[in-house]
């Protein structure tokens, strides 16, 4: 990989800065004044339901759309005034893996390195395959890869050229649970290497697992933002309650056939488990 560039130095002072961003499509107001700051080397999750404006915001930051109002800078470059410099500083991974299924994993990576006119494209491919635990599959056609492997390869391709900022737009859409975990590990590796990641997702557990900070986008606005602990602090305090848990039919069946030790009266006894729930204190 290349040595840290000026873009990396500029990104360290604030990788992404958004102020009052607006965007409408006809009469539909998608973004209504978005404000957002992303620190360099962090993972920030932009959390929202379908239609909240997540992808629109990312497309504006990636210079694929023009905002109607407001301002935004990425890696120290103004998105509207310096789009070429922004594109040199970022990589965008969309909702579906953009890989060539006919080529091998190694060939996909080397091809992108050649298109970027980088020296030693085969060496770059080998290093990225190792970084994302794809070395054993490097010489296989991508058509044989699992969904998680394809997404990891897609993310690896986005790192070619060593961009300081990466946008991941709903990277685990359509993946099974194991594949999602594989992608999560890949994203964590990006942050460990110092890459700034803006991740859009509609999965709450994904934001909880990955993000240093979470911004909730709703009806075109960031309605709250903070660490997971800060967001949890917005909720009322929890109390511990004990509830009776009745045996399931599976537990009864296993006890009857002797797969698990039956209780003294040959019927699985009710068990007790603890749960937590949020409660608000009522005023007197």
Q: Where are the domains of the chain?
A: 6-232, 238-278
Predicted pLDDT at 95: 67
* pLDDT for residue 70: 96
**For the range 20-26, what are the long-range contacts, defined as Cβ-Cβ under 8 Å and sequence gap of 24 or more?**
20/69, 20/70, 20/71, 21/57, 21/60, 21/67, 21/69, 21/70, 21/71, 21/72, 22/67, 22/68, 22/69, 22/70, 23/53, 23/56, 23/57, 23/60, 23/65, 23/67, 23/68, 24/68
User: Quick check: pTM over 0.75?
Assistant: no
Architecture of domain 6-232 in CATH?
3-Layer(aba) Sandwich (3.40)
pLDDT of residue 97: 66
Tens place of pLDDT per residue across the chain (284 aa): 444 444 444 444 579 999 999 999 999 999 999 999 999 999 999 998 888 899 999 999 999 999 999 999 999 999 999 999 999 999 988 766 678 999 999 999 999 999 989 999 999 999 999 988 899 999 999 999 988 888 889 888 888 888 999 999 888 887 788 878 888 888 888 888 889 999 998 888 889 989 999 999 998 999 999 998 888 888 787 777 777 878 777 776 677 767 654 444 444 444 444 444 444 444 44
């Amino acid at each position: 990989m290349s040595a840290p560039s000026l873009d990396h130095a500029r990104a360290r002072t604030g990788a992404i800065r958004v102020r009052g961003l607006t965007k409408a499509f006809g009469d539909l107001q998608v973004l209504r004044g978005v404000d957002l700051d992303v620190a360099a080397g962090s993972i920030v999750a932009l959390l929202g339901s379908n239609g909240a404006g997540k992808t629109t915001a990312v497309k504006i930051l990636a210079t694929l759309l023009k905002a109607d109002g407001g301002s935004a800078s990425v890696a120290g470059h103004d998105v509207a005034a310096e789009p070429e410099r922004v594109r040199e500083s970022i990589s965008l991974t969309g909702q579906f893996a953009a890989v060539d299924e006919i080529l091998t994993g190694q060939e996909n990576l080397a091809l992108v390195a050649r298109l970027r006119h980088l020296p030693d494209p085969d060496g770059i491919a080998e290093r990225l395959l190792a970084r994302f635990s794809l070395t054993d599959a490097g010489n296989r056609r991508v058509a044989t890869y699992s969904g998680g492997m394809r997404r990891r390869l897609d993310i690896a391709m986005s790192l070619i050229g060593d961009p300081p900022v990466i946008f991941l737009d709903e990277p685990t859409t359509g993946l099974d649970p194991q594949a999602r975990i594989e992608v999560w590990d890949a994203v964590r590796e990006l942050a460990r290497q110092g890459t700034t990641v803006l991740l859009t997702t509609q999965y709450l557990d994904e934001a909880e697992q990955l993000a240093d900070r979470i911004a909730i986008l709703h009806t075109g606005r960031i309605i709250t933002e903070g660490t997971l602990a800060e967001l949890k602090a917005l909720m009322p305090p929890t109390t511990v309650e004990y509830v009776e848990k009745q045996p399931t039919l599976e537990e009864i069946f296993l006890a009857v056939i002797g797969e698990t030790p039956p209780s003294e009266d040959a019927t699985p006894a009710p068990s007790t488990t603890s749960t937590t729930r949020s409660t608000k204190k009522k005023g007197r």
